[in-house]
Structure 1
Amino acid sequence: MATTFPQHPSTRLLRDLTHSLPMALLRTREAVVQRFRTVLSRHGLTEQQWRILRALDGRDGLEVSLLAEQCRILLPSMTGILKRMESRGLVRRDANQADGRSTLVRLTEASQTLLEQIKPEVVEVYKEIERILGKRKLEQLYALLEELEAGLLEGQS
């Protein structure tokens, strides 16, 4: 005979897991990222490496900690990723002339060429997403996500 346990009253306040906001965001993120991952894997890049290349694109370098913050990569992980990218000739690290204690990360000529090859494919993924939602809804989605993030960050203060 199976034993049943009474349901705690507070668990009835939770939405079904399939309708929870964190799970919905995770499922959607995975569906979106999978489209980009397909493009990136053809070029031998990881999502994190792509975020780094994108953050550096059009800039004359970024300090490592600022790059990590912008790419949402923890600093210890960033160190390893940059070492692998440097060994592939995708980035170079130089002493920051303005502050000798920090390091600037810069794109190489090879990575700039790679970026130019990948950009049209990435644009196609964005076009697919826009076809699915429509331009207006996509802009609303960006606005809602930014509003939610700002509100949650404000609530932390």
Structure 2
Amino acid sequence: MNFLPTLKNLVLTYQSFEQYSAPHIKSMGLTMTQFDVIATLGNQPPMTCKDLGDKTLVTKGTLTGVLERLHDKGIIHRSVNQADARSQMIGLTKKGQQLFEKVFPEHLQHLEKAFGQLSKQDLNELTNALQKLRAVFINQ
């Protein structure tokens, strides 16, 4: 059970990140999930719901509701996937792209205040350690 301190610190770090990040996103009128979707779709061609789900941290059930709300607000558009009519392509509308261009850089600046306290070497070491940990779970 040597992994328990690592597990505890991983969870506490994620919780701390959310406590730092979420209020800033909320101050911009978005939920964390909405921001995740908008950030993923920003400056990208439309993608399928499956691709969007794979690229975000959003579960399929949650994604459906978030997409409905973003569509109702005019942030995203849906179109039939020409390669597979059983699925839809999701993209940002002009309004959605403008929102992305406003909130994404603002939030990156907010995160920079925290991540900027770490050296380039610290960030590289953390990235490598997290990639190694992720690979352990993927390879099971």
Instruction: Calculate the TM-score normalised by the size of structure 1.
Output: 0.80
* Residue identity in the other structure for 2:69: R
**Structure 2: where are the runs of 5+ without partners?**
none
Q: Is the 8 A contact 1:55 1:70 kept in 2?
A: yes
Q: Is the 8 A contact 1:95 1:104 kept in 2?
A: yes
Q: Measure how far apart 1:14 and its partner are.
A: 6.8
**Aligned residue number for residue 143 of structure 1:** 128
**Structure 1: where are the runs of 5+ without partners?**
1-12
Paired residues, number:
140
Distance in 1 (CA, whole Å) between partners of 2:131 and 2:61 is 27
Q: Is the 8 A contact 1:92 1:105 kept in 2?
A: yes
**Aligned residue number for residue 14 of structure 2:** 29
Distance in 2 (CA, whole Å) between partners of 1:50 and 1:151 is 29
Q: Is the 8 A contact 2:49 2:87 kept in 1?
A: yes
Q: How does 1:78-117 map to 2 (within 5 A)?
A: 78-117=63-102
* Residue identity in the other structure for 1:81: V
Q: Which moved more, 1:35-44 or 1:91-100?
A: 35-44
Q: Which has the higher contact order (CA 8 A, sep 6+)?
A: 2
Distance in 2 (CA, whole Å) between partners of 1:99 and 1:123 is 35
Q: How does 1:3-18 map to 2 (within 5 A)?
A: none
- Percent identity between matched residues is 26
Greater CA radius of gyration, 1 or 2? 1
Q: Is the 8 A contact 1:60 1:106 kept in 2?
A: yes
Distance in 1 (CA, whole Å) between partners of 2:20 and 2:94 is 26
